[in-house]
C-alpha cells in the first residue's frame, strides 16, 4: 500500500518545485497586478482600498489611450504577420540543399541572439539623420545629395520600429517552420510529384497543412512576445512624440515610473492581459479546431 | 486517488500564495508599533548595542559609491555608538527600490533622492528641524530650503544642486559673424545667420523629450517672465506669457533653426552634437565641461546667461536633490544619531568634497565659498546657483505637470495649438 501510494504521489513531488516557483513568480505577480488595478495606490506605492474601478475609467477616458491601443494593434499585427510570411519563405529556402546552408542558418540566428536593446540602438544609429549610416552610405554612393530625415513624422518612426521588430522576429519563425518542414516525410512529395502536382500545389496542399502545428506555436508565442515587447520602442523613441509611438507596455511603464500612477498602470496591464488572453486563445482554438476538421 | 492528490496540491498552492501575499500587500498600513521592529518605539537601545541607521543614496556618477563607502567607514570609526549603512542605488532603480521598501514597511531611515512631496503626502516623513541640528540647518541657502516646504514646514534638506546656462561654440559664432545673443530677438537673428553660414550646423539645440522636456518648458517661460505657479502657489500653466514662450520655442523648431527631432533628441544627444561642433548653441547644466572633456572633444566653447524676452532678467533653472528622514518611530537616541549623521555630512570640508566629487554645486553658503575657491571654473556657477529658480517639486501635482508640459510641447511640435493645449492642461491640473 505504502509503495503504491508513493508511486502515485511521486510525479507530483517531482513537479512541485516548478509549480511552486510558477506560483511565486507568475501567479502571485498577476494577482498583485489585479489587486493594484482595483485599489487606489498612492505615489509612494501604498494601497488605500478599493476605488470602484476608478483606475480603469481614468485610463479609458484618457485621449491618449485610444491612440496607444491603436498603435499596439498595428504594431502586433504588422510585426507578427509580416515576420511570419517572411520567416516562412526563408524557412522554405533554408530547407533546400545548397552550399553554405549551415553558414546561412547561423547568420539567420544572429538577430535573434542579440539583445533587443542593442538591436534597437543599432537601428537608431542606422536611421539617424545626423550621423546615421544609412545617410552616409547613400551620400557616398551618390544616391542622395543631402542627408534625409528618415524619421520626420511619428508614423515614419513607428514604421522603422516595426521594421526592427520584424527583423528580430523572423529568425524565431524561420526556425519553428524549419523544424516543421524537416519532420515532413519526403515520400509525400514524391507521391505528389508522381501524381503530377506542381510546386504551388504541393506547397498549398502538403507543406502548409503539415507545418501548421509549428506555425500555430510560433504565431501564438509571437503575438504574446510582440504585444508585450518593450525594449525596441523604449530604446528608439520612448513612445514620443506625445504617445504617437507608444504601445500599451511602454505607456504603462511611463504611467508607473514617470507619472507615479501605479494603479492606472496596473489597470492598463490588466487590459493588455485580457486582450492577449482573448486573442491568443481565439487563435489557438480556431487553428486547432480547423486542424481537427481536416 | 489522483483527483484527491491534485486537489491537495491545488490547496497547498493557494495556501502558499495566500501566505506570501498577506505580508506584502495589505490594503491598510500595518499598525505603527510593528512598523519597524528593529527600532523600539520608546525603549532606549540597550547599553552596548549600536544604534543602526540605514541610508539609501542616489548614485550620481562613477565616484558616488566609493565616496559613500569611505564616508561610512570614517563615520562608523568616529561614532562608535552608531552603525551606519549606506546603500547606493542607481537613478534607474531608486524609485522602485524605495517604493518596494515602503510597501513592505521597511522604509529607509534617511533617503537621498530628488523628490519628496509624494512621501510627505503619505505622511511618511519627519520635519527637517526634527532631525537636523540648528547649526547645520542654518548653513543651507534659504532659497533651497523653501523648495521643500509643504504647509509651512520644511520636510527635506538640499544635498546638492546643478544649474543651467547657455553654452555656445565660440568658433562657429565668430565665423558666422554673430554676437552672443542676450534676447530672444537676437537669438533668432543669430540662429538665422548661423544657418546661412553653414546649413549643416544646427544653430540651437532643444530637448523636448520624455527625459527632460520640462526643462525646456522652464527655460522659456521663466525667461519670458512666466512661471508654473503664481505667488500664492496656484498653477498658472496657461498664462499668456507661458503661451508666448512656448510658441517662440516651437517657432524656432518649425523655422528649421534647431536640431531636427526635439521630441527624440535628449540632452545627451545634444551635448554629443555640441561636442562634435554640430550644434552651435544649447542650454545645459554646469557638468557639460566634464562631459565634453570625457567625450574627447576639443571644441572652443564658453557659457553665458540664457537669453530672455521683454526685458526680463535672465533666469537659470536649478535642479536640487534632497535628504529626507522617514518617520520610523525613532527613539530619541536614534534621532540624536541621525543629527550626528547630518552634522558629519555637512561638515564644511567634507561637504565641499562631496559636491566637487561629481562636479555639482553646493547647497550651503560655506560650501559655496570653499568650492568657488577650490575650483575657479566653478565660481561663476556658485553665483548662478544662489539666484536660480526651481521646479515646483513641493507641489503634489508636480509629476502630472511635468509629464503634462512635455506632452504639450510634443503635441505642439506635431502641429497642435499651444494655447489650447495649455488651457487643457491647466484645466486638468487645477480642475
In B, minimum Cα distance to A157 occurs at: B264
pLDDT at residue B293, rounded to an integer? 82
Is 50 exceeded by the pLDDT of residue B317? yes
Residues B247 and B309 in one domain: yes
Task: Compute the 3-state secondary structure of chain B and give helix, strand, coil in percent, each to the nearest 5.
Answer: 50, 20, 35
**DSSP assignment letter at B391:** -
pLDDT value at A85 more than 70: yes
Q: Are B54 and B142 found together in one domain?
A: yes
Whether residue B5 and residue A20 make contact (CB cut-off 8 A), yes or no, is no
Query: Is B385 a residue whose pLDDT tops 80?
Result: no
B207 plus B250 within the same structural domain: yes
The pLDDT tens digits for A126-136 are 998 888 899 99
Nearest-CB residue to B118 (from A27, A43, A152): A43
Are A48 and B264 within 8 A, CB to CB?
Answer: no
CB B388 within 8 A of CB B316: yes
CATH homologous superfamily for A57-293? MetI-like (1.10.3720.10)
- Same domain, residue pair B351 and B267: no
| Same domain as B339, residue B210 | no
Compute the average pLDDT of residues B85-98.
87
Which residues from chain B sit within 8 angstroms of residue A242, using beta carbons?
A: 263, 407, 410-411, 413-414
Which one of A6, A44, A161, A236 would you mutate to disrupt binding with B, by most B Cβ within 10 Å of its Cβ? A44
pLDDT of residue B16: 39
Q: B13 and A20: CB-CB below 8 Å?
A: yes
Residue B431 has pLDDT above 80, yes or no: no
Q: What's residue B33's pLDDT?
A: 37
pLDDT band at B366 (very low <50, low <70, confident <90, very high): confident
Residue A104 has pLDDT above 90, yes or no: no
Looking at residues B197-215, what average pLDDT do you find? 91
Residues B217, B143 share a domain: no
- pLDDT tens-digit readout, B27-76: 333 333 333 334 333 344 445 678 999 999 998 877 889 999 999 999 99
Q: Do A42 and B95 touch (CB under 8 A)?
A: no
The C-alpha of B375 sits at a distance from chain A's nearest C-alpha, in angstroms, of: 35
Q: What is the mean pLDDT of residues A87-93?
A: 92
Give residue ranges of A with CB < 8 Å to any B CB: 8-9, 12, 16, 19-20, 23-24, 27-28, 31-32, 35-36, 39, 42-50, 129-130, 149, 151-152, 154, 157, 237-244, 254, 257-260, 262
Bridge partners (DSSP) of residue B52 are B83
pLDDT for B17 equals: 37
Model confidence pLDDT, tens digit, residues A24-57? 998 999 998 999 999 988 877 778 888 888 899 9
Question: B1 in a domain, yes or no?
Answer: no
- CA of B91 vs chain A CAs: smallest distance (Å): 12
Mean pLDDT in residue range A189-206: 87
Contact B99 A32 (CB under 8 A): no
- Residues B324 and B425 both lie in one domain: no
pLDDT at A91 over 60: yes
Q: Please give the distance of CA B389 from its chain centroid, rounded to a whole number.
A: 13
Which residue of chain A has the CA closest to B398? A259
Residue B42 lies in a domain: no
- Pair B86, B198 in one domain: no
Residues of B in contact with A19 (CB under 8 A): 9, 13
CATH number at residue B368: 3.40.190.10
Cβ contact, residue pair B124, A259, below 8 Å: no
Find out whether A245 and A235 touch, Cβ atoms under 8 Å.
no
Give the gap in angstroms from C-alpha A85 to the nearest C-alpha of chain B.
Answer: 32
Q: With an 8 Å Cβ cutoff, are B260 and A49 in contact?
A: no
To test the contact with chain B by mutation, choose from A46, A58, A246, A262 the residue with the greatest count of B C-beta atoms within 10 A, namely: A46
Residue-averaged pLDDT of chain A: 88
Same domain for B146 and B225?
A: no
Read off the pLDDT of residues B111-139 as tens digits, 9 standing for 90 and up. Answer: 999 888 888 988 899 999 999 999 999 98
Q: With an 8 Å Cβ cutoff, are B17 and A254 in contact?
A: no
pLDDT at residue B13 is higher than 50: no
Q: Which residues of B touch A43 (CB under 8 A)?
A: 118, 121-122, 399
Nearest-neighbour CA in chain A from B117: distance (Å): 9
* Chain A / chain B CB contacts < 8 angstroms: 113
**Which chain A residue has its CA at the smallest distance from B396's CA?**
A43
Give CA–CA dist B247/B421, Å, rounded: 11
**Least Cα separation, residue A132 to chain B (angstroms):** 13
pLDDT at position B40, please? 39
Model confidence band, residue A283 (pLDDT cutoffs 50, 70, 90): confident
Q: How many structural domains does chain B have?
A: 2
Residue B27 and residue A39: Cβ atoms within 8 Å?
yes
Q: Do B264 and A32 touch (CB under 8 A)?
A: no
Neighbours of A286 (CB within 10 A): 11
Higher-pLDDT residue of A186, B323? B323
- B103, B122, B410 member nearest A240 (Cβ): B410
Q: Confidence class of residue A144 from pLDDT cuts 50, 70 and 90?
A: confident
Could B263 and A151 be called an inter-chain contact, meaning their C-beta atoms sit closer than 8 Å? no
Mean pLDDT, rounded, of chain B: 84
Q: Given pLDDT bands bounded at 50, 70 and 90, which one contains residue B387?
A: low
Return the pLDDT at B22. Answer: 34
Which comes out higher in pLDDT, residue A74 or A2? A74
Nearest chain B CA: its distance from A139 CA (Å): 14
Whether residue B323 is contained in a domain is answered as yes
Looking at the predicted structure, is the pLDDT value of residue B291 above 90?
no
Lowest mean pLDDT among A151-165, B269-283, B374-388, B410-424: B374-388
Q: Which of B210, B214, B275 to mutate to test the interface with A (most CBs of A within 10 A)?
A: B210
The answer to whether the CB atoms of B260 and A149 lie below 8 A apart is: yes
Predicted pLDDT at B15: 38
Secondary structure of residue B75 in the 3-state scheme: helix
Residue A151 has a pLDDT of: 85
- Mean pLDDT of the A94-115 span: 85
Assign B399 a pLDDT band (cuts: 50, 70, 90).
confident
Q: What is the pLDDT of residue B386?
A: 66
Q: Provide, rounded to the nearest whole percent, the portion of chain A with pLDDT above 90.
A: 39
Q: Identify the pLDDT of residue B295.
A: 79
Same domain for B209 and B126: no
Across residues B161-171, what is the average pLDDT?
Answer: 90
Residues B174 and B287 in one domain: yes
Q: Report chain B residues whose CB lies below 8 A from the CB of A31.
A: 17, 21
pLDDT of residue B18: 36
For residue A233, is pLDDT > 50?
Answer: yes
Q: Which domain holds residue B284?
A: 164-316+394-430
Instruction: Report the 3 state secondary structure along chain A.
Output: CHHHHHHHHHHHHHHHHHHHHHHHHHHHHHHHHHHHHHEEECCCCCEEEECCCHHHHHHHHCHHHHHHHHHHHHHHHHHHHHHHHHHHHHHHHHCCCCCCHHHHHHHHHHHHHCCHHHHHHHHHHHHCCCCCHHHHHHHHHCCCCCCCCCCCCHHHHHHHHHHHHHHHHHHHHHHHHHHHHHCCCHHHHHHHHHCCCCHHHHHHHHHHHHHHHHHHHHHHHHHHHHHCCCHHHHHHCCCCCCCCCCCHHHHHHHHHHCCCCHHHHHHHHHHHHHHHHHHHHHHHHHHHHHHHHC
Q: Are A263 and A41 in contact (CB under 8 A)?
A: yes
B34 domain residue, yes or no: no
pLDDT at B111: 95
**What is the reported pLDDT for B309?**
92
Nearest CA to B218 out of B247, B242, B251 is that of B242
Decide which of A106 and A84 is more confident. A84
Whether residues B192 and B309 share a domain: the answer is: yes
The DSSP letter of residue B201 is S
A33 to chain B: closest CA residue: B25
Does B183 have pLDDT greater than 90?
yes
Instruction: Return the percentage of chain B with pLDDT > 90, whole number.
Output: 48
Residues of B with Cβ-Cβ distance to A8 under 8 angstroms: 1-2, 5
pLDDT in tens, A9-29: 889 999 999 999 999 998 999
Residue of A27, A39, A151 lying closest to B17 (CB–CB): A27
Amino acid at each position: 500500500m505504502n509503495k503504491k501510494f508513493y508511486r502515485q504521489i511521486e510525479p507530483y513531488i517531482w513537479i512541485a518545485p516548478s509549480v511552486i516557483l510558477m506560483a511565486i513568480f507568475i501567479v502571485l505577480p498577476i494577482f498583485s497586478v489585479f489587486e493594484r488595478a482595483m485599489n487606489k495606490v498612492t505615489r509612494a506605492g501604498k494601497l488605500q482600498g478599493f476605488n470602484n474601478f476608478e483606475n480603469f475609467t481614468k485610463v479609458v477616458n484618457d485621449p491618449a489611450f485610444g491612440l496607444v491601443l491603436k498603435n499596439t494593434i498595428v504594431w502586433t499585427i504588422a510585426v507578427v504577420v509580416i515576420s511570419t510570411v517572411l520567416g516562412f519563405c526563408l524557412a522554405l529556402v533554408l530547407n533546400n540543399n545548397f552550399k553554405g546552408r549551415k553558414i546561412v542558418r547561423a547568420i539567420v540566428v544572429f538577430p535573434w541572439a542579440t539583445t533587443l536593446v542593442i538591436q534597437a540602438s543599432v537601428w537608431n544609429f542606422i536611421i539617424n539623420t545626423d550621423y546615421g549610416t544609412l545617410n552616409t552610405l547613400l551620400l557616398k554612393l551618390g544616391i542622395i545629395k543631402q542627408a534625409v530625415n528618415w524619421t520626420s513624422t511619428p508614423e515614419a518612426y513607428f514604421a522603422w520600429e516595426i521594421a526592427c521588430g520584424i527583423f528580430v522576429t523572423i529568425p524565431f519563425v524561420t526556425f519553428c517552420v524549419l523544424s516543421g518542414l524537416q519532420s515532413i516525410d519526403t515520400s509525400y512529395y514524391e507521391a505528389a510529384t508522381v501524381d503530377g502536382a506542381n510546386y504551388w500545389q504541393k506547397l498549398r496542399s502538403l507543406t502548409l497543412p503539415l507545418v501548421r502545428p509549428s506555425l500555430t506555436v510560433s504565431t501564438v508565442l509571437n503575438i504574446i512576445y510582440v504585444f508585450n515587447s518593450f525594449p525596441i520602442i523604449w530604446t528608439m523613441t520612448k513612445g514620443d512624440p506625445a504617445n504617437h509611438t507608444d504601445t500599451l507596455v511602454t505607456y504603462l511603464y511611463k504611467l508607473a515610473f514617470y507619472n507615479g500612477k501605479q494603479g492606472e498602470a496596473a489597470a492598463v496591464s490588466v487590459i493588455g492581459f485580457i486582450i492577449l488572453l482573448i486573442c491568443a486563445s481565439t487563435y489557438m482554438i480556431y487553428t486547432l479546431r480547423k486542424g481537427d476538421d481536416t | 486517488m489522483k483527483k484527491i492528490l491534485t486537489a491537495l496540491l491545488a490547496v497547498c498552492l493557494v495556501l502558499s500564495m495566500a501566505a506570501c501575499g498577506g505580508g506584502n500587500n495589505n490594503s491598510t498600513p500595518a499598525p505603527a508599533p510593528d512598523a519597524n521592529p528593529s527600532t523600539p518605539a520608546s525603549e532606549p537601545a540597550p547599553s552596548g548595542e549600536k544604534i543602526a541607521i540605514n541610508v539609501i543614496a542616489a548614485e550620481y556618477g562613477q565616484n558616488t559609491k566609493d565616496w559613500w563607502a569611505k564616508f561610512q567607514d570614517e563615520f562608523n570609526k568616529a561614532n562608535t555608538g552608531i552603525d551606519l549603512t549606506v546603500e547606493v542605488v542607481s537613478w534607474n532603480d531608486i524609485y522602485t527600490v524605495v517604493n518596494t521598501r515602503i510597501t513592505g514597511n521597511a522604509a529607509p531611515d534617511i533617503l537621498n533622492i530628488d523628490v519628496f512631496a509624494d512621501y510627505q503626502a503619505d505622511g511618511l516623513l519627519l520635519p527637517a528641524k526634527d532631525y537636523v541640528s540648528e547649526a547645520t540647518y542654518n548653513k543651507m541657502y534659504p532659497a533651497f530650503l523653501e523648495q521643500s516646504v509643504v504647509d509651512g514646514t520644511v520636510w527635506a534638506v538640499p544635498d546638492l544642486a546643478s544649474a543651467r546656462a547657455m553654452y555656445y561654440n565660440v568658433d562657429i559664432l565668430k565665423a558666422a559673424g554673430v554676437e552672443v545673443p542676450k534676447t530672444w530677438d537676437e537669438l533668432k537673428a543669430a540662429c538665422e545667420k548661423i544657418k546661412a553660414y553653414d546649413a549643416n550646423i544646427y544653430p540651437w539645440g532643444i530637448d523636448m523629450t520624455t527625459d527632460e522636456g520640462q526643462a525646456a518648458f522652464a527655460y522659456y517661460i521663466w525667461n519670458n517672465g512666466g512661471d508654473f505657479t503664481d505667488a500664492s502657489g496656484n498653477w498658472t500653466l496657461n498664462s499668456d506669457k507661458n503661451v508666448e514662450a512656448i510658441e517662440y520655442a516651437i517657432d524656432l523648431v518649425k523655422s528649421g533653426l534647431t536640431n531636427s527631432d526635439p521630441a527624440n533628441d535628449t540632452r545627451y544627444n545634444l551635448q554629443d552634437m555640441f561636442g562634435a561642433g554640430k550644434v552651435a548653441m544649447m542650454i545645459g547644466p554646469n557638468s557639460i565641461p566634464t562631459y565634453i572633456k570625457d567625450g574627447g572633444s576639443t571644441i572652443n566653447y564658453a557659457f553665458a546667461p540664457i537669453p530672455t524676452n521683454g526685458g526680463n532678467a535672465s533666469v537659470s533653472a536649478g535642479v536640487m536633490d534632497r535628504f529626507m528622514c522617514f518617520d520610523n518611530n525613532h527613539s530619541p537616541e536614534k534621532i540624536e544619531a541621525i543629527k550626528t549623521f547630518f552634522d558629519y555630512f555637512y561638515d564644511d570640508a567634507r561637504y565641499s568634497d562631496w559636491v566637487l566629487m561629481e562636479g555639482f554645486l553646493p547647497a550651503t553658503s560655506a560650501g559655496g565659498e570653499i568650492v568657488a575657491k577650490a575650483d575657479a571654473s566653478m565660481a561663476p556657477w556658485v553665483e548662478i546657483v544662489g539666484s536660480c529658480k526651481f521646479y515646483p517639486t513641493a507641489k503634489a501635482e508636480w509629476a502630472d505637470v511635468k509629464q503634462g508640459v512635455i506632452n504639450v510641447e510634443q503635441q505642439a511640435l506635431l502641429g497642435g495649438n499651444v494655447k489650447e493645449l495649455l488651457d487643457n492642461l491647466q484645466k486638468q491640473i487645477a480642475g
